Structure 1
Amino acid sequence: MFKFKLGHKQPEENEARRRLQKELFGLNKICVRGFPSRPSALAYDSQLKLIAIGTHTGEIRIYGQPNFQLSYSLDPNSSSSIRKLMFLDGVGRLLVLTIDGYLHLLEINNYHPSINDFSSNSTVRIDRTCTSSEDDSVILKNTQTICLLRNHLNLLIGLDDGNIYSFNIENFSLNINPIISTDVIEKTGRIIHPGPVQSIVQHPTNEDKILIGYKNTLIVHWDLPSNSHDRTYIYKQEVESVCWYNKGMNFATCHNNGSYALWDAKQQLNIVEMEKIPYGPYPCTPMTKICVKIMRNGDPLIIFAGGLPRSSYSNKHSVSCLSENEHDHNNERTRHVTFDFTTPVIDFFTIDKSSSDNSRDDPQSVVILLTEEIVVIDLVTDSWPSYHLPYLNSIHASPVICTTIACNVNPQFYKRLVNYATIQFDDYSDRRWPITGGEIKCNSNHLEDDTEQRHLLLTGHEDGSVQFWDITNISMPLIYKLKTSDYFQIEQAPIDDTEEETWPPFRKTGLYDPYCDDPRLAIQKLSLCTNTDTLIIAGTAGQVLTFEFSTDSTEVNIATTTVNLLDGCESFIWKGHEEMKTKQTFIPSGLVLTSLVQLYPPAAVSALALCSEIQSYAVGTAHGFTIFNYKQNRILAAKCTLDPSALGNTPTVPLSMGESTLIRGRSLKKSLRESFRRLRKGRTIKKATMILTPKRTDENNPLSPANIHLEEIIRVPVERQVEFREFKPVDDQIVSMVRCLYFAKTYLNSVNDRTRSLWAGTNGGHVYVYSITGSESQSINTLTNGTPIATDQTTKEIRLKHKAPVLSIIVLDGSNQSIGQGSSIPTLESVSSTSNVPVSATTHTENVSLSSSTANTSHKVLICSEEQFKVFTLPNLKPSCKFKLTATEGTRVRKVNINQFTLKTDNANEFHSESCLVCLDNMGQISIYTLPTLRRQILFSCIKASDINALSSVQFSPFAHALYLQSSSELVQVTFSPQTILPYSMSITYDKIRRKTIQRSDLEKSVRQISPEKTLSNGQESFPSYYTGLWYEIFPKENQFQEGGKCVNATYTINLDGTVSVLNQAISALGVYENIEGYAVVKNPTVSATLKVTFGSNQIGSYDIISTHYKEYSIVYSCTDIPNTNLKIEFACILDRRKILPLATINKCNEFLANLGVSAFNLSTTLRNC
């Protein structure tokens, strides 16, 4: 009983190990896939062929050709919802107007990121960022519309009060006086109050002319040089939008009654050339935007949003395309399609291919941004089909329920999957994707190599569909979709085929459909083996389906095999939903159903594991689990995990999912154990260990650079007392639920014989182990008709004393790698020593899947519960070591995985490799532990603790990567290893001459213009964002802070409250990491590069930054008087982004200091001992 070791601690990590930890582990965000959440604005650069999407959360996504994707985030603390986006065509600049009235200028620039620093793998960088002043924001927050003039020097801004202002891009300031005021408009005598400015468009050929549409029926043709109107037009309905067409000889307007009008711009009189209510004459919804283009054949193409009959279709969302001959409206060239969408339209634009004389627009495509998806229509093909999206796919077209990753899939499987998918994509356009901006330079033909290793993401959806996504590169195209609903009888609403559907000519477009006919269809678990072309799908109603490839279309009517999990629990009464009924159906070639199992009770499947070597899978629910051979259609074993003794007293179970009503009293032994734990609590002493966690975290952005760096903190000195779990009828947890299943061939009974086994863990802390016999001497081909596979009764059973849910079971070989297949444990389907890893992960030379090379090595089993990790030796199941996460840290485990971390050594042909346990806890932190000793190496803050959906959706890959849902429509991919190999590099070619035509001051002046109006809470000038990040310090002589130290560096971080923290770090003469934290302020806002860094009121280490290049180097100087003496301490150094400086930089800095009278300093050219 007295077995506690007081004062037990783990050995401290030495300096070499700490350095190795930094090189092996590091959290970096790779990319965001899917459709941006809550989009609000759309822009297109017609010259660079790029599109930009802004969101209500301040996110900006820029897309070009497939795999060209850039991201940028505005300040999360301000009201940064994006209202408008506008490209400066051809120069790689983007104007961003936020809802709080601030205008930002972003630049896209080329640069060469470091191979070892994946955090710099984004080509969106603020080279010159400007933000409008606070005074300007008072006016700009009332913006209704904007128009960028083609000279890129002025932005016209129309307000809701009818005034139009000019914003100067050159000095990034607003002219406080309107250039076109409502008073001037009212003096025309045509209207008393024009109302808000709805639209401003510049003339396509005459840059001095603009067309203004006012809400209250007024359209004005305005001349900018003379600041006067040429002519005015009055329409009988309120104006929503205006546009030029036909080289500016005509213009079009659309109105709030669902009508549009075509005008002759050269007519002096207020005469409408043509007016029409396309879906009238009854009242219609407003037509919110119109665009008229001249097609290749000379006919106008009219594209408009809205305008549907109000009484019948007020809840529909549409964009209509109408092409008809001006003189013959019934000829064969007339086409009219109303594209019907599920969600509201935000904006649209056309991609044109203008003729050489600009007489024809020749629209090629129309891009339509909706609130939940994006649709691109091919206008060249006669039928106007939509494009198959290579990116920006709405993964949430039906809500995502589960995900799984398949890495290094079998190439033959991938080819077959793509070939069968061509049938599904027949209705899409065959033309090339029209958005082709950006340049991608491949490393070793990565993107063109058909033999490269592919990686798939499978998503299970609420409507019973399974979608296959290719995540090999940054783009995530959909390559195959499987519908399980085709095999079941579903009650559907009758299809309405009445004549009223023929007008307007609706065409259902887009994939987003959040509605589900039957919630029982929802997919709960997925398991794929691409080596045997086998897919297992488990659903909400206990249905388990097996799919395999079929080369022919076929009629499918599979008999259902029922598995009763209530053996021995006859008193249990199921009160949930009924099982699903199958039907005969015709299925095209591809993945076809070959086996169907129905579990009873038909509860949701909670765990699934596939072992294709024996053509069997294990599936578990809240009531038990079973092992099933899908080739023989034979039940190998079934186990009920409910407690019969607890059910015997109650004929019914209070909850439909079968929650146990077990009530256990505390035993004397457990009470004594808890008493000794309380006695030990005050005497346990543990020293500081290396751990990674930020002192100041950004909860809104856990992956920000401020949250990803190493520090030393003190390990919790005592263990928390974990209360005894007493299961009562009111508990939410179902103790009988199977949480994990795992197949492994290991030393289960003897050290001389490996036995294939199944391990099952439950919510109640129970682990059941079954041995599987009769399969080892048979090949896969003979298993179908050969000797039946058999299972013994439970060989072993483990009961965890703390009774926490068992989340994962992993059998480890002698090299600490997983040797089995289990639920939530990703495996490599096929392995190559030169296989590429997803998007940028390290190349691994070791296989983490089943390996025969481990036959003569010792095996261990790692059991991960919600509260702790514990390693047992096999076959005797003797405890080896454990780590109590909840007791020491107060957090709970959400998900775990085994990953291989590899690092190149000095020898190019050798690698240092470690197999580690990666854990996600309920606070959103990622921690990494050594195996099998379970010593924690590092801790990252990855996901916000409040984001439950993200935490529950995390999927680990074998390559130290993870995917999780940032929102319902976006998947974030992160890596835990800083060692990355870029498969390709991205760049952009823009018009440098046109960019230079905009007068620019030097870089230091431009930095002062970043936010001239924003001040910190104490009234100080804003800190320039250019200066943030890591700087290396190169000293001429030692100072107090770094005396005898080496590898000195400083990190500048802008905090959430606007203050700036400075963390100076160094390795002391004793080999210990030391740091000191201070703050930085702008010393003199009127003079560039005057930053003051302070480490406390009496710290000699405080210094001033007297000159900086911002992107490369800075000069630091300090002169501190020693109190009560005539002495002073003078100090100077260079802060640089590089560790070794060129001689030219040293000479420039020496010259600068010499001009200040500090010529005694001779700065070194190399960072010492780093």
Structure 2
Amino acid sequence: MFKFKLGRKQPEDNEARRRLQKELFGFSKICDRGFPSRPSAIAYDPQLKLIAIGTHAGEIRIYGQPNFQVSYNLNNPSSIRKIIFLNGIARVLILTSDGYLHLLEINNLNSIHIDHICTSNENSESILKDTQTLCLLRNNLNLLIGLHNGNIYSFNIENFSLNTKPIIPTEIIEKIIVENCSGRIIHPGSVQSIVQHPINDDKVLIGYKNTLIVHWDLPSNSHDRTYIYKQEVESVCWYNQGRNFATCHSNGSYALWDAKQQLNIVETEKIPYGPYPCIPMTKINVKIMRNGDPLIIFSGGLPRSSYSNKHTVSCLCENEHNNERTRHVTFDFTTGIIDFFTIDKLSSDGSRDDPQSLVILLNEEIVMVDLLTDSWPSYHLPYLNSIHASPIICTTFACNVNQEFHKKLINYALIQFEENSDRQWLITGGEIKKIINDDSQEKNLLLTGHEDGSIQFWDVTNISMPLICKLKTSDYFQIEQAPNDDVDEETWPPFRKTGIYDPYCDDPRLAIQKLALCTNTDTLIAAGTAGQVLAFQFTAEPTDVNLPMTTVNLLDGCESFVWKGHEEMKTKSTFVSSGFLATSCIQLYPPAAVSALALCSDIQCYAVGTAHGFALINYQQSRILTAKCTLDPNSLGHTSKVPSSFGESTLIRGRSLKKSLRESFRRFRKGRTIKKSTMTPTTQRADESHPLSATNMHLEEITRVPIERQVEFREFKQNDDQTVSMVRCLYFAKTYLNSLHDRTRSLWAGTNGGHVYVYSIIGFESQTLNRTTITTDQTSSCSLAKEIRLKHKAPVLSIIVLDGLNQSIGQGSNIPLIDSKFLTTEIPIQTTPTHSENVTSHKVLICSEEQFKIFTLPHLKPSGKFKLTATEGTRVRKININQFASKTDNPDESHSEYCLTCLDNMGHISIYSLPTFRRQILFNCVKPTDITALSSLQFTPYAHAFYLQSSSEFTEVTFSLKNSSPCSMMISYDKLQRKTILRSNEDQSSQQISSKRDESHDHVEELTHEILSKDSICSSTPKTIDNKNEYEEPESITIIKSNPNENNSGFSTNSDSAIDLNSMNITNNQPSNDEVLKPIEHDPPSFQSTPLKVTTEPSITVSQNGDHASISPVLSKSSKKAAPPPPTPPKPAKLISVKVRQAPTINEVHCYNGTNNKSSSPSQQTPAIHT
């Protein structure tokens, strides 16, 4: 009972340990993989060979060659309507739905990133909100803006300002209509399209909604010719070197015109899918192919009565003299079309466009069609894959994949994707400094299980995430499929299903719940929603499969249970050409969804668990080794009440004194803590009302006092019995289960009710096969050896057996392993330096939702415990054991250690030392409200993590400094063509007023915000250089927050520690322009353990774009006049005595591969704290 002595606290770390922590741990975002969520616009730079995609959330993604990717988030997220490249100079124009134009540029300073140059003024907001179409002239100096009311304005890129008077007003156009329509006055309608002449830069073609097309001369500001059509105009385009142009219309027709024809005569007029009424043809593009034939590409135009709900892009190539060269394909997609364009390779004389491919951006995917191949096949995408073609249910990570297994997958992929184009990927922009596609590089795979029963293998070795192959488990089961409407006879229009996005599922029982993979033995285990478990082996020969099914009854001893769910799955015979072949099928009864799965390929067994129990299966022989029902038979029969132990803790004789003393000490410590908390500035955690940022994440530890919460006892009712019995984790390990001398194979199972079952597996003999130790079944047996019941009855999420070095030696559910050689490595018994007596080198870590607890083996003696819920108020979601190594080139100074990594329900990733459970550091990873991200997060063995940022996109983060940057990128462009943006004083002052208004509004929202919200690690946007302002801080300690739209991917440290804010590199002087151009070097922080002196002296923190300093060309001589007012004189300091302890501090959170990560705004004042 003396362990409850007064004033108990953990020992403080010394200076060397704190310095080592800074070298071991660090949080950064690696990249986003997949398809951007909710895309809204696309653009292409034919000179730099880059594509840019904008989203409704204000995100910009720029892609080049595989593994080249840069991203950026706007300060005030609003939907992106248009994206335009300034060709050849790595600049991008963006029009947002709130009526602003933004200019961004790609730079290579320190690391490739995107800088925000400037934003349009407020006086142009009303005009830009009414924008219908944009046209950037080839000089990259003027932007033509067509509005819904018919006016056309000019925007000057050099000074980034809008001419408030229209250069082509509707009054002039109405006069043109009067001249050509016998005196009738008709409003031209909205400006549908503006296209510059391909050769003559002074000419543009304008299409108005109300049947009018105008050929306009810019220098004279007058029209050359006008064309009137009988239907409303939707889009126009030039072709054939500007000799002809094409228009498409609202009745589903298109027209081809001769640009030199004085009369209003149409060369060709056609309704391709008529004569019945058709939906509008929204966009048209005409290209001259290599053989001289015109290729007409258009979207829409289908018959209204039959196909009005279809989303199509049609390609039509007609030749009047040779019918064999006539081709017509209607590409049919499952989602709406946003935009499309072609990638061309102009001939030397410019007479032929020679289109190479057609790029189509859809709501849920992107498709690239090969136009050089006669059949017009689609490309196999190296990135931007639609990972949510069917909704993702589960994920599994496999690293250090066997090279032979990887080659088998590649060969299988060649057969599976043989219908796709075999030509090289055409978007090849950017440069990769490091060679990352080395054959000797270790390969990493990410497996995703989907709702339609498919399993997809993704290569996540590098930044790009190409799809290697796909496995369909639905081929082995009898399912009710929808009738096939396709007929052999030719249909009209000639539809072709294109794209992979298909969110519909024929049978929900097919959904894959759990996956397990062993690349050394080519074994894959897939478990589904209806209790079906398939074992796959790799085969290279075509095979006819007639798969038998083995039923496993988990209700042994619980015959009163009645299953009222879905039916069992039934197998069928199928043909497998090559690849994965199902060799075993197990059907669990009741056919409930599989909740846990673990594979031990060494003994050719796997364990599977559901809400009713678990079973151990030999997949090579399809034999059941053991089956255990975890249901309570008394509660199922409803003949007896729940035992008293389920409702309240039983008073055990001999422990009443100890329990009474424990409660007394807790009350005494609670009183001291409450009394001590009155000395703190606030009694609320910093993250309960404000997300952690670069400014307040240090104050979070100062204001928080560790209080052990009283966790209520769990009371399970009869109707909750199935939840209590659910198996949450399974784990295989060869450890000292029965004695200190012999290692026994064991199976560990944890349930929702805090119950752990330990089974011993004996009777296997080892054999060596393919460099892997395989054991054969020789009269094997599996029997219950031990049981553990956790007193707090929290769900057991993970079980890990650790050796003397604190590394995992087994395989289990949600516990990734680098190589299976650790499973068979004999580790001698060691002694720990903290104990005088010898103990075994193996111990078991049992992690529940509320606690971490370590038991020694084989006696299961408690060795350590950490109450996460009681001390932090959070619950565990997932854990892993990771190795952290210091980032140094000197092997003599290198240091590594194994730590426990934990994700809690608030989105924090915390790292704890083993076996002491001392928290080393804490990071904010995801929002606590993002349930998808929390449930999908998958740890890797090398201190990385994957999670679903949205349904269509994975995000990879790392919390180790050594494994942070997978590659380095750069881009080459013509720097001489990049012109400085010179803005007037009036424009700059108006933008400063706008920025002050936005920041003050954000500050008010922060003060009134009452709901807990954490910013995700998405990259934020650097602010414009001229958006600097100051405001006074109140004379009190206030937790300063950065812009809520910015990234607050911060971290926190041990709750028993304090941080010196002098390490934040605060200065009171603004740097000069020359100083801003230099990178800011942060000195290592000093750690203090003395009372803090808190003052309100104003200061300015210099924060540049990301982790580097740069200046945009916006800054000019005229802008120096608008200097900020001098700071107010300092006010008397307030002395507050706060007893704190030490902890590591990291001042910068680096983001790589173009993701921008900002600290607090430079305009905010940070309280300086001195010791």
TM range (shorter): 0.7 to 0.9
**1:804 — aligned with what?**
794
* Distance change in 2, residues 1:748/1:346 (3 Å): same
Letter in 2 for 1:15: E
Contact 2:365 2:501 in 1 (8 A): yes
Aligned match of 2:876 in 886, 890, 893? 893
Matched, 1:205 2:194: no
Letter in 1 for 2:628: K
Aligned match of 2:856 in 852, 858, 873? 873
**1:256 — aligned with what?**
250
Letter in 1 for 2:825: S
Cα shift readout 1:345-373 (whole Å, capped 9, x = no counterpart): 00000000000010000000000000000
* Distance apart, 1:13 and its partner CA: 2.2
* Distance apart, 1:4 and its partner CA: 4.0
Contact 2:603 2:774 in 1 (8 A): no
Higher mean displacement: 848-857 or 984-993:
848-857
Letter in 2 for 1:1073: D
Letter in 1 for 2:99: G
Name structure 2 gaps, 5 residues minimum.
678-683, 831-839, 1004-1020, 1028-1038, 1077-1091, 1113-1119, 1133-1146, 1149-1171
SS in structure 2 at match of 1:605: coil
Cα shift readout 1:252-274 (whole Å, capped 9, x = no counterpart): 11111111111111111111111
Higher mean displacement: 1012-1021 or 984-993:
1012-1021
* Distance change in 2, residues 1:467/1:1059 (3 Å): closer
Matched, 1:386 2:367: no
* Identity within the alignment, %: 68
**1:23 — aligned with what?**
23
Contact 2:122 2:991 in 1 (8 A): no
Letter in 2 for 1:378: D
* Distance change in 2, residues 1:954/1:1122 (3 Å): closer
Give distance in 2, aligned partners of 1:452 and 1:1061: 30
Contact 2:701 2:1058 in 1 (8 A): no
* Distance change in 2, residues 1:619/1:1003 (3 Å): farther
Aligned match of 1:1073 in 1026, 1038, 1060? 1060
Letter in 2 for 1:351: I
**2:996 — aligned with what?**
1015
SS in structure 2 at match of 1:734: helix
Letter in 2 for 1:74: L
Aligned match of 1:347 in 339, 346, 352? 339
Higher mean displacement: 913-922 or 231-240:
231-240
Matched, 1:90 2:88: yes
Give distance in 1, aligned partners of 2:59 and 2:730: 40
Matched, 1:54 2:48: no
* Distance change in 2, residues 1:1100/1:603 (3 Å): closer
**2:905 — aligned with what?**
922
* Distance change in 2, residues 1:667/1:283 (3 Å): same
SS in structure 2 at match of 1:67: coil
**1:294 — aligned with what?**
288
Task: After TM superposition, list the pairs within 5 Å mapping 1:211-360 onto structure 2.
Answer: 211-325=205-319, 327-328=320-321, 331-360=323-352
**1:852 — aligned with what?**
826
Letter in 2 for 1:306: G
Task: Give TM-score, length-normalised by structure 2.
Answer: 0.83
**1:834 — aligned with what?**
none
Task: After TM superposition, list the pairs within 5 Å mapping 1:580-619 onto structure 2.
Answer: 580-619=569-608
Give distance in 2, aligned partners of 1:1116 and 1:160: 40
Aligned match of 2:500 in 497, 511, 517? 511
Task: After TM superposition, list the pairs within 5 Å mapping 1:353-502 onto structure 2.
Answer: 353-442=345-434, 445-447=435-437, 449-498=438-487, 502=491
SS in structure 2 at match of 1:485: helix
Contact 2:686 2:699 in 1 (8 A): no
* Distance apart, 1:1121 and its partner CA: 7.9
Name structure 1 gaps, 5 residues minimum.
114-122, 654-658, 689-693, 832-847, 1030-1050, 1090-1094, 1125-1136, 1139-1170
Cα shift readout 1:249-295 (whole Å, capped 9, x = no counterpart): 11111111111111111111111111111111111111111000000
Give distance in 2, aligned partners of 1:512 and 1:1104: 47
Give distance in 1, aligned partners of 2:665 and 2:562: 42
SS in structure 1 at match of 2:724: coil
**2:1155 — aligned with what?**
none
SS in structure 2 at match of 1:1015: helix
Contact 1:222 1:228 in 2 (8 A): yes
Task: After TM superposition, list the pairs within 5 Å mapping 1:507-546 onto structure 2.
Answer: 507-546=496-535
**1:111 — aligned with what?**
109
Letter in 1 for 2:886: L
SS in structure 1 at match of 2:995: coil
SS in structure 2 at match of 1:454: coil
Letter in 2 for 1:576: G
Cα shift readout 1:755-805 (whole Å, capped 9, x = no counterpart): 110000000000000000011555569999955353342111000000000
Letter in 2 for 1:84: K
Give distance in 2, aligned partners of 1:423 and 1:142: 51
Give distance in 2, aligned partners of 1:786 and 1:1019: 71
* Distance apart, 1:986 and its partner CA: 1.2
* Distance change in 2, residues 1:1007/1:766 (3 Å): farther
**1:951 — aligned with what?**
934
**2:1015 — aligned with what?**
none
* Distance apart, 1:681 and its partner CA: 5.5
Higher mean displacement: 889-898 or 1003-1012:
1003-1012
Aligned match of 1:769 in 744, 758, 761? 758
Letter in 1 for 2:995: K
**1:649 — aligned with what?**
638
CA RMSD of aligned residues (A): 4.1
* Distance apart, 1:705 and its partner CA: 6.3
Give distance in 1, aligned partners of 2:548 and 2:984: 74
Cα shift readout 1:706-762 (whole Å, capped 9, x = no counterpart): 788897435543211100100124549700000000000111111111111000000
Higher mean displacement: 176-185 or 48-57:
176-185
* Distance change in 2, residues 1:81/1:1002 (3 Å): closer
Letter in 2 for 1:95: L
**1:142 — aligned with what?**
130
Task: After TM superposition, list the pairs within 5 Å mapping 1:1110-1129 onto structure 2.
Answer: 1111=1110
Q: How many residues align?
A: 1049
SS in structure 2 at match of 1:413: helix
Give distance in 2, aligned partners of 1:518 and 1:904: 50
Give distance in 2, aligned partners of 1:962 and 1:209: 54
Cα shift readout 1:932-954 (whole Å, capped 9, x = no counterpart): 11111111111000000110000
Give distance in 2, aligned partners of 1:403 and 1:987: 32
SS in structure 1 at match of 2:94: strand
Give distance in 2, aligned partners of 1:1004 and 1:552: 74
* Distance apart, 1:908 and its partner CA: 3.5
Contact 2:197 2:205 in 1 (8 A): yes
* Distance change in 2, residues 1:717/1:1088 (3 Å): closer
Give distance in 1, aligned partners of 2:413 and 2:1073: 63
**2:748 — aligned with what?**
759
**2:186 — aligned with what?**
192
**1:578 — aligned with what?**
567
Contact 1:258 1:285 in 2 (8 A): yes
* Distance apart, 1:1073 and its partner CA: 2.6
Task: After TM superposition, list the pairs within 5 Å mapping 1:663-702 onto structure 2.
Answer: 664-668=647-651, 676=664, 679-680=667-668, 682-683=670-671, 685=673
Letter in 2 for 1:810: I
Contact 1:1102 1:1118 in 2 (8 A): no
* Distance change in 2, residues 1:786/1:475 (3 Å): closer
SS in structure 2 at match of 1:282: coil
Give distance in 2, aligned partners of 1:404 and 1:242: 49
* Distance change in 2, residues 1:1052/1:61 (3 Å): farther
**2:621 — aligned with what?**
632
Contact 2:884 2:896 in 1 (8 A): yes
**1:1056 — aligned with what?**
1044
SS in structure 1 at match of 2:85: strand
Contact 2:923 2:1049 in 1 (8 A): no
* Distance apart, 1:238 and its partner CA: 1.1
* Distance change in 2, residues 1:574/1:1028 (3 Å): farther
* Distance apart, 1:423 and its partner CA: 1.0
Give distance in 2, aligned partners of 1:825 and 1:867: 19
Give distance in 2, aligned partners of 1:777 and 1:1060: 52
**1:822 — aligned with what?**
812
Letter in 2 for 1:1014: S
* Distance apart, 1:992 and its partner CA: 1.9
**Higher RCO by CA contacts (8 Å cutoff, separation 6 or greater):** 2
**When you count strand as a share of all residues, which structure comes out higher?**
1
